[in-house]
Amino acid sequence: MSDLIGAIDLGSTKIAVVIANLNDKNEELELIGFSMIPSRGISYGVINDIQEASNCIKEAVQKAIKIAGIRVPPRMIATISGEKITAVPSRGMIIVKSREQEVTEADVRRAIEAAKATSIPDDREVIYHVVRGFRLDGQNGIINPVGMVGTRLESDLLLVTHDKVQLRNVINAFQKAEVNIEGFIPQEIAASEVVLTNEEKKLGVVLVDIGGDLTNLAVFREGYLYATGILKLGGERITKDIAITLKIPTEEAERAKKILGTLRQDREESLEVLSLQQRRIKITTSQVREIIQPRVEEILDFILKKLEELNSPIELVPGGIVITGGTALLDGLEEFAQEYLGVPVRVCRTLKTYNIFEEKDAVFYSSAVGALERAVKTITIDEGSKKFLDYLKEIFKNIFSPFKE
């Protein structure tokens, strides 16, 4: 037996969809459909044209289900981003009720619910949570307390919240597209599942997902997600810089960035592009590099500043930085960033586990694939053989209830 499930990465510059079979026996995913199209009606993670966004969602999903060979889209998880999303730590405490004082799965669920019951502003909605560990009778660092003996069980969660009004707009866009969404996961948390290794998370690492107009950060320390952050800056800014400086159309600037874009000093090539006056002009690698490098330096500086704000200065993450997203394809980025920051830097450009994507496109699917991977991992750890869709309904059951008439 297998379940069909999908994930959709709702970005400001592209929408990516993946559809998979989940094998009940070995909890493995088999990707059977995928698509990626430019997004419309979304800016900086916020819906600004609900009809355009809805049409775009529908188009992307229809393309994916056609490749998958199915007629109706499966229920999906959506990955989202934007300044309206925040993550806050929360703790919950319960008293173990069993006569033998042995912690049960029910106790664990109660401890998690206690942490989720923390007071949040009326204009916010909890859309996701990450369990970072447990404490039993003062003992820290417990990963799974089930079967252990104790009285006082505490849970440590990271609660992800979203602005209720903006969340309603996102939900409406999916409803207009006739796509059933079970819940939401922040893009950087989803991407971390397929981009980072367990060793990196244990050592301490920062995932940097550089998108079109936003850069998402996820900080891992001692194996747990410690904090998330967002920068209102991305790869599209580099494209605009090229267009403005060289006085060429945005489409030509994007082409120049892909072909000539490099941070290496040993490359020298040229390319003919159309100017704003529709004249053919020649531009060189040196010209493009002089435009790109200051913007990349600015992004890296902002990353360091944001890490300080998150109480995670770069010195506290020995594993350094792992970069993904479209800008990760920029030639020479890994070496340049490592030298500029003085810490280990790894650039992730592929998804090695899945070979159905073209190599140049794989990085754009990291959040969507990661959303499915995280769901499978959660089920395997928390629910054993429980049916996939049933479990999804349970973990996301409270998200849509405030918006139902």
**Please, which pLDDT band fits residue 352 given cuts at 50, 70 and 90?**
low
261 within some domain: no
| Torsion angles phi and psi, residue 375, rounded to 5 | -65, -45
10 within some domain: no
Distance CA 192, CA 219 (A): 10
Distance CA 265, CA 240 (A): 22
How far CA 146 is from CA of 81, 138, 143, in Å, comes to 34, 16, 9
1 within some domain: no
Distance CA 150, CA 247 (A): 68
In this structure, the number of other CB atoms found within 10 A of the CB of residue 391 comes to 19
Q: Which residue range forms the structural domain that includes residue 151?
A: 86-164
Residue 217 tokens read as 């950060």
227 within some domain: no
Residue 130 belongs to domain with CATH number:
3.30.1490.110
Helix (H, G, I), strand (E, B) or coil at 315: helix
Please give the residue that has the higher pLDDT: either 206 or 394: 206
What string of DSSP letters covers 147-167? Answer: T-B-SEEEEEEEEEEEEHHHH
CB 136, CB 150: distance < 8 Å: yes
Please give the residue that has the higher pLDDT: either 372 or 356: 372
104 within some domain: yes
Q: What is the DSSP letter of 402?
A: G
Number of domains comprising the chain: 1
pLDDT, tens only, 14-54: 999 999 988 766 567 888 999 999 999 999 999 999 999 99
Rg (CA), the chain: 22
pTM: 0.88
**Please, which pLDDT band fits residue 381 given cuts at 50, 70 and 90?**
very low
132 within some domain: yes
**pLDDT above 50: residue 384:** no
**pLDDT above 60: residue 158:** yes
121 within some domain: yes
316 within some domain: no
pLDDT at residue 355, rounded to an integer:
60
**Please, which pLDDT band fits residue 172 given cuts at 50, 70 and 90?**
very high
Distance CA 362, CA 218 (A): 20
How far CA 129 is from CA of 151, 264, 285, 398, in Å, comes to 24, 41, 45, 12
